[in-house]
Structure 1
C-alpha cells in the first residue's frame, strides 16, 4: 500500500457566535466531549475521534449554502439509529427536519444548531465507515 495518501476527513471547522454556549449544545445533544480548548476555539470529539472544531466568529457566515433558493448543509453526520436520534432531538427542542427514507440511499434528516449551521444526518446499512 502506498504511503502519503489522504485517509479521510479528520474534522470540520464551523463558525459560531459563542464557543462555550455552542459546545454545551453539542455535548448535550450528541454526547461529544470537549478538547483542545483555546481562546475562541475548541474541538469536539466522539470518544477519541475528532468531529468538529468550533471557532468564534462575529461574521454572519455559517456552514450553509444555497442551491436554487434552498439551504444546504456542508457536513453530514452518520447515525446507527437515525429514528431514535431524530425522536430524541425533537424532544430536546432541536430544529430538525422530517425524517426521510430514500430506499437504497438510506435515511436522512436535516438539523440546525444554535447558530444556523445546517447538518445532514444519515443512516445507511450498506456503507462501511470505520471509526
Structure 2
C-alpha cells in the first residue's frame, strides 16, 4: 500500500473582504466560485481548490526570506514563455498589480502579481513534469 502524499488538494489564502476577493479572482484570473459565505469563499483555479478565508487586515500569505525580501507561497505554471508574456500583459490590462518578467537563473521566466489583499502570487513559464497517481 502506498501512503505517499499525492497532490495538493486545497490552499488557504487570507483576505479581508470575502465577496470582493472572490469576484476579483473570478474576473481577473477566471476562477470559478464554488461556495461563499461571510467567512470564506471556495474557488477553483488552475486545477486546485483555494479557500479565501476572512482574516485580519494585516494578514497575508507573504513571508520574508533570510535577506528580508517578501516572498510568495504559490507558483502557478503556464506552458511556455509566450503564454507567460501574454498572461502578464492580460493581467496588466485588467489592472492587476504585476511585477516585471524575471530571469531567476533557472529554466524559464517568472513574474509576481498581487491580489486585492497583497498576497503575492508567482507565475512560471515552465510546466513541471506530470505526476501519475
**Common fold by TM > 0.5:** yes
Give the secondary structure class of the aligned counterpart of 1:3. coil
Structure 1 residue 96 corresponds to structure 2 residue 112: no
Q: 1:105 aligns with which of 104, 107, 110?
A: 107
Structure 1 alignment gaps of length 5 or more: none
Structure 2 alignment gaps of length 5 or more: none
Q: 1:58 aligns with which of 56, 59, 65?
A: 56
- Compute the RMSD of aligned alpha carbons: 2.1
Give the secondary structure class of the aligned counterpart of 2:21. helix
Q: TM-score, normalization: structure 2?
A: 0.85
Q: 1:118 aligns with which of 117, 120, 133?
A: 120
Provide runs of 4+ in structure 1 moved above 6 Å. Answer: none
Q: TM-score, normalization: structure 1?
A: 0.86
Give the secondary structure class of the aligned counterpart of 1:77. strand
Separation in structure 1 between the aligned mates of residue 130 and residue 28 of structure 2, nearest angstrom? 22
Deviation larger for 62-71 or 32-41: 32-41
Separation in structure 1 between the aligned mates of residue 114 and residue 4 of structure 2, nearest angstrom? 33
Of Structure 1 and Structure 2, which has the larger fraction of its residues in strand?
1
**Number of matched residues?**
128
Separation in structure 1 between the aligned mates of residue 26 and residue 10 of structure 2, nearest angstrom? 16
- CA 1:129–1:38 in 2, change beyond 3 Å: closer, same or farther? farther
Q: Is the 8 A contact 2:32 2:44 kept in 1?
A: yes
Q: Is the 8 A contact 1:43 1:50 kept in 2?
A: no
Separation in structure 1 between the aligned mates of residue 90 and residue 33 of structure 2, nearest angstrom? 21
